[in-house]
Amino acid sequence: MSFLLPKLTSKKEVDQAIQSTAEKVLVLRFGRDEDPVCLQLDDILSKTSSDLSKMAAIYLVDVDRTPVYTHYFDISYIPSTVFFFNGQHMKVDYGSPDHTKFVGSFKTKQDFIDLIEVIYRGAMRGKLIVQSPIDPKNIPKYDLLYQDI
């Protein structure tokens, strides 16, 4: 399914997507094409991309080809999904210590759609952090890894 979504393969392409995506939520899925959990997430992203086309632009980013962003967003687990709006990094309170990214796959297409709608509405009102609409039991649990401390 990952072949249905556009891929960003360099820091320059990611920079360009962040700077040029206006009035839409920019969804960046960091991961690897061959990873089973990434493929599960890609399936959800590709099935919802046309429904969300007025609200969101979805791209796949290979963690091995964009080490600057992998390090910047502290991507220790894949897939990790990061959101932007008009060049601003959008944060989401999932009830976990990390508000910068969603780690893992969404349980349902509806969870992803609800999240995009909340981010979009919040961003249109000037918010940089929004409350996750996803049921906490559908949010993967993981321990933060702090490296180089």
Residue 147 has a pLDDT of 43
Residue 50 to residues 44, 114, 134, 147, Cα–Cα distance (Å)? 11, 15, 21, 38
Mean pLDDT of 120-134: 96
The domain segmentation of the chain, as residue ranges, is 5-135
- Chain centre distance of CA 65: 17
At 47-87, the pLDDT tens digits run 999 999 999 999 999 999 999 999 999 998 999 999 999 99
pLDDT of residue 141: 73
* 5-135 maps to CATH 3.40.30.10: yes
> Is a pLDDT exceeding 80 seen at residue 146?
no
Write out pLDDT tens, residues 87-121.
999 999 998 888 999 999 999 999 999 999 999 99
| Angle at CA of residue 101, ends 5 and 36, nearest 5° | 50
For residues 104, 110, 111 and 112, what is the CA-based torsion angle, rounded to 10 degrees?
60
Mind listing the pLDDT tens digit for each residue in 13-47?
999 999 999 999 999 999 999 999 999 999 999 99
pTM: 0.91
